[in-house]
């Protein structure tokens, strides 16, 4: 491992697409279930992994399965089976769980058995008996699990490191964690260029698992710069994938994470503007594009997006104009009333006779 002092520059920002245009579409990893209050309903076949552990596949994964001492990164939701009470959700914490197969905590034994049967990207429903969960006593701290409670897990295996060393993130040095994350980022970049977006997203998520908030808060100076040079490109490429998926709110969130650290990041501004425009947030999108243009005044992609917004405004104005025209109707042509003309004629005639007689009266005098 290269020592930090020998590394003159942070890892390069090779974030998969040097051009900020993100055209094209592809499928990324499956979206989590919308209803989080109870376990999802699954119709797939039940696979018996252990006397106390069964599995139903929600979404198929790809590649190999983790082996003993693999370091796995996963998101999961957990419910007590009898009451359907959800007691844990890693997605709310926005931090994947790190689980080393064979070195898991006792209460995670059943979960580890399930995870060891899964492939990267797979999502599954696990039923775990209390004997391989929180046991006879349960847990009265966090999480709060009653005694002898069978557990239902909805699990997504993001990916795993097949190191066979069983080394947790907490046992790594700063250099080791940044290096491991950078390797994941580079693997993701290669997959991104090949349009294998599902696999790329998983690599980026695993890289970000090494760059959690608890880790970033400890860094400053060049160490923090090195970490951000890995972390920010992962968020930006995830945003690019989410825009292609039309998951614009999630893309905006990924860009927002980058902009907290670097408020003038052009790619983050551009991609957030693109997502906002798709959601109809025209003023916000224009603000992002104009700010991005300050840092890249000649960028054709930014100019194109601003032109599209201008055309959108013009089209909206034209539609409103047509709407109001149809609402109030065309202005009627003024046609003189024949009755009014007759009255005017007689008034003129009377006035004429009056002037004639008046003139004759002056002559007689």
**DSSP per-residue codes, 1-70:** ---GGG--SPPP---S-SS---------SPPPPS--SSPPP--SPPEEEETTEEEEEEE--BSPPP-TT-
- In this model, does residue 7 exceed pLDDT 70? no
Cis peptide before 143 (omega within 30 of 0): yes
Mean pLDDT of 64-78: 92
Give how far Cα 359 sits from Cα of 57, 158, 346, Å: 113, 111, 20
Mean pLDDT is lowest, of 7-16, 237-246, 297-306, 331-340, for: 7-16
Q: What is residue 203's predicted lDDT score, i.e. its pLDDT?
A: 86
Tokens 């999802």 locate to 40
What CA dihedral angle connects 232, 233, 235 and 241, to 10 degrees? 170
Is 0.85 surpassed by the pTM of this model? no
Q: Write out pLDDT tens, residues 97-140.
A: 899 999 999 999 999 999 999 999 999 999 999 999 999 999 98
Tell me the average pLDDT of the chain: 82
What is the pLDDT at residue 111? 97
Residues 126, 53: contact at Cβ < 8 Å?
Answer: yes
- pLDDT at residue 242 greater than cutoff 50: yes
Closest CA to 153 of 248, 52, 276, 69: 52
| Residue of 165 and 176 predicted with greater confidence | 176
Does the structure show a pLDDT above 80 at 341?
A: no
| Highest mean pLDDT out of 21-25, 111-115, 306-310, 324-328 | 111-115
pLDDT for residue 82 is more than 70: yes
Residue range 60-83: mean pLDDT, rounded? 92
In the prediction, which pLDDT does 178 show? 92
Q: How many CA atoms lie within 13 A of 319 on its CB side?
A: 6
Measured N-to-C along each axis, helices 282-295 and 300-328 cross at an angle, to the nearest 10 degrees, of 150
Q: What is the average pLDDT across 193-205?
A: 83
Tell me which of 131 and 166 has the higher pLDDT: 131
319 or 150, which is more confident: 150
Q: Which of 57-71, 110-124, 204-218, 306-320 has the highest average model confidence (pLDDT)? A: 110-124
Q: What is the pLDDT of residues 14-32, one digit of tens each?
A: 444 433 234 333 333 344 4
Strand segments (E) across the chain: 47-50, 53-59, 71-80, 86-89, 97-100, 123-128, 151-161
pLDDT in tens, 253-280: 999 999 998 999 999 999 999 999 999 9
Least confident residue range of 194-203, 300-309, 319-328 = 319-328
Query: Do residues 74 and 96 make contact, with C-beta atoms less than 8 angstroms apart?
Result: yes
Distance between CA atoms of residues 161 and 68, nearest Å: 11
Task: List, in order of start, the domains of the chain with CATH numbers.
Answer: 47-161 (3.10.50.40), 171-312 (1.25.40.10)
């Amino acid at each position: 491992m290269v020592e930090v002092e020998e590394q003159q520059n942070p890892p390069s920002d090779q974030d998969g697409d040097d051009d900020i245009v993100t055209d094209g579409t592809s499928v990324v990893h499956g979206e989590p279930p919308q209803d989080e209050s109870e376990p999802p309903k699954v119709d797939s076949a039940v696979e018996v992994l252990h006397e106390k552990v069964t599995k139903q596949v929600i979404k198929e994964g790809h590649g190999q399965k983790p082996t003993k001492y693999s370091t796995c990164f996963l998101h999961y939701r957990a419910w007590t089976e009898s009451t359907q009470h959800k007691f844990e959700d890693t997605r709310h914490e926005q931090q994947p769980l790190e689980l080393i197969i064979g070195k898991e905590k006792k209460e995670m034994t059943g979960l580890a058995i399930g995870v060891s049967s899964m492939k990267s990207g797979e999502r599954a429903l696990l039923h775990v008996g209390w004997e391989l969960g929180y046991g006879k006593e349960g847990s009265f701290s966090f999480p709060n699990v009653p005694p002898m409670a069978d557990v239902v897990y909805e699990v997504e295996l993001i990916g795993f490191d097949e190191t066979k060393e069983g080394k947790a993130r907490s046992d790594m040095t700063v250099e080791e964690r940044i290096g491991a994350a950078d390797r994941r980022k580079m693997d993701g970049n290669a997959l991104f260029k090949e349009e294998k977006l599902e696999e790329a997203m998983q690599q980026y998520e695993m890289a970000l698992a090494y760059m959690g908030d608890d880790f970033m808060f400890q860094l400053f100076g060049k160490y923090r710069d090195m970490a951000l040079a890995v972390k920010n490109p992962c968020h930006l490429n995830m945003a690019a994938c989410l825009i292609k998926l039309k998951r614009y709110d999630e893309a905006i969130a990924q860009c927002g994470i980058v902009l907290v650290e670097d408020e003038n990041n052009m790619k983050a501004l551009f991609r957030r503007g693109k997502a906002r425009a798709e959601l109809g947030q025209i003023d916000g999108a224009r603000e992002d594009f104009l700010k991005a243009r300050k840092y890249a005044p000649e960028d054709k992609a930014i100019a194109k997006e601003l032109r599209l917004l201008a055309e959108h405004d013009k089209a909206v104005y034209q539609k409103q104009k047509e709407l109001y025209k149809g609402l109030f109707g065309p202005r009627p042509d003024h046609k003189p009333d024949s009755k009014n003309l007759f009255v005017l004629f007689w008034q003129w005639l009377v006035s004429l006779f009056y002037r004639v007689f008046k003139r004759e009266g002056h002559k007689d005098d």
